[in-house]
């Protein structure tokens, strides 16, 4: 358990918490005394719940598809039903499904990318607002990406550009309600192999080459010449979520080893 207890009794929704950065955020919030609502559409989220409970943390899971507004509403309803309020929303669902030059994307693939990497954040922000306005307090942290300036994933880049825009504008619109909204522009992050793949189809040689170009471009643009760790992303996300960032709103912080996105 962590020595710091920044989230004691705070009710925190973490979306996409079955693996990767979202899992790391949920584990750390629980370690720091928060009550966590872990939302994911994968049943692997139950394994994270067991880990948190075995360490004495307080959490519940909800299975929801956050590409739909109904899914986002169900997550907020679960938080209020179980814990009576929502203090913090961490919008982590997202991720590029395909990596290839824009002219290779079909219409259907472009729609799927925007549904995966813009809509879950847009829906969850909309769904949580009534509760936060009523409380006259709340914190939202959106997980964006340095890929807003990057090759071979234009629909994803555009989606995360949308996340950055909604972060600034929502912060502006609702500061009067005591709501802070910030984002982390996550850089390339090392992670164990994904249990839930972003794209289950085997990659062709072209697709492997295009993905390698993304890795090379990401490392080339960092000052530090390496990928970050999940822990380095969790630290920045939870700084923004905590009262340590009480005078920050509408900001997008790059956590990319010097790559500003
Ligand atoms: N990993 C990186 O290198 C990297 C780099 C930049 C930005 N990011 C951003 O960080 C965030 C997390 O990335 P990650 O690599 O840890 O993610 P991941 O792909 O490993 O995991 C995403 C999680 O979200 C869940 N999910 C996906 N679609 C969902 C839906 N429609 N409804 C509910 N749950 C859904 C999945 O089941 C999974 O548990 C994403 O927003 C991603 O764009 C990641």
At 65-104, the pLDDT tens digits run: 999 999 999 999 999 999 999 999 999 999 999 999 999 9
pLDDT digits (tens, 9 = 90+) for 93-116: 999 999 999 999 999 999 999 999
Closest listed residue to residue 88, CA positions, set 19, 18, 23, 6: 6
Q: How far is the CA of 94 from the centre of ligand 1 (A)?
A: 4
Rg (CA), the chain: 17
State the Cα–Cα distance between residues 260 and 151, nearest whole angstrom.
15
Q: Give residue 247's pLDDT.
A: 98
State the Cα–Cα distance between residues 141 and 136, nearest whole angstrom.
17
Average pLDDT over residues 197-220: 96
State the Cα–Cα distance between residues 123 and 131, nearest whole angstrom.
14
Share of the chain above pLDDT 70, in %: 99
Q: Mean pLDDT score of the chain, rounded to an integer?
A: 97
State the Cα–Cα distance between residues 6 and 99, nearest whole angstrom.
37
Average pLDDT over residues 108-136: 98
Answer yes or no: are the C-beta atoms of 166 and 128 closer than 8 Å: no
pLDDT digits (tens, 9 = 90+) for 13-71: 999 999 999 999 999 999 999 999 999 999 999 999 999 999 999 999 999 999 999 99
pTM of the entire predicted model? 0.98
State the Cα–Cα distance between residues 253 and 57, nearest whole angstrom.
29
Q: Give residue 83's pLDDT.
A: 98
Residues near ligand 1 with C-beta < 6 Å? 16, 18-22, 40-42, 64-67, 92-95, 116-117, 120, 143, 145, 186, 188-189, 191, 194, 196, 198
Q: How far is the CA of 81 from the centre of ligand 1 (A)?
A: 26
* Whether residue 2 has pLDDT greater than 90: no
pLDDT digits (tens, 9 = 90+) for 234-257: 999 999 999 999 999 999 999 999
Q: How confident is the model at residue 3 (pLDDT cuts 50, 70, 90)?
A: confident
* Whether residue 1 has pLDDT greater than 50: no
Closest listed residue to residue 20, CA positions, set 195, 203, 148: 195
Which ligand 1 atom is the nearest neighbour of the CA of 67?
31
Which ligand 1 atom is the nearest neighbour of the CA of 16?
24
Average pLDDT over residues 222-241: 98
Q: Which residue minimizes the CA distance to atom 42 of ligand 1?
A: 95
């Amino acid at each position: 358990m962590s020595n710091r207890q920044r989230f004691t009794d705070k009710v925190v929704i973490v979306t996409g918490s079955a693996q990767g950065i979202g899992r790391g955020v949920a584990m750390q919030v629980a370690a720091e005394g928060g009550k966590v609502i872990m939302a994911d559409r994968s049943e692997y989220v139950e394994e994270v719940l067991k880990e948190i409970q075995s360490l004495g943390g307080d959490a519940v899971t909800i299975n929801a598809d956050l590409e739909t507004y109904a899914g986002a509403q169900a997550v907020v309803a679960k938080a209020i039903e179980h814990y009576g309020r929502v203090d913090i929303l961490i919008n982590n669902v997202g991720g590029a499904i395909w990596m290839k030059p824009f002219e290779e994307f079909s219409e259907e693939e472009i729609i799927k990318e925007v549904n995966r990497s813009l809509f879950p954040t847009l829906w969850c922000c909309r769904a949580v607002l009534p509760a936060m306005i009523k409380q006259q307090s709340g914190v939202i942290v959106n997980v964006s990406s340095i890929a807003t300036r990057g090759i071979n994933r234009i629909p994803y880049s555009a989606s995360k550009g949308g996340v950055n825009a909604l972060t600034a504008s929502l912060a502006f619109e609702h500061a009067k309600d005591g709501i802070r909204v910030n984002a982390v522009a996550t850089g390339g992050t090392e992670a164990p192999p994904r249990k839930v793949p972003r794209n289950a189809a085997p990659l062709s040689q072209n697709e492997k080459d295009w993905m390698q170009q993304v890795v090379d471009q990401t490392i080339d643009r960092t000052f530090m010449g390496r990928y970050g760790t999940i822990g380095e992303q969790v630290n920045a996300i939870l700084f923004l979520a905590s009262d340590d960032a009480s005078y920050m709103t509408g900001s997008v912080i790059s956590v990319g080893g010097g790559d500003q996105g």
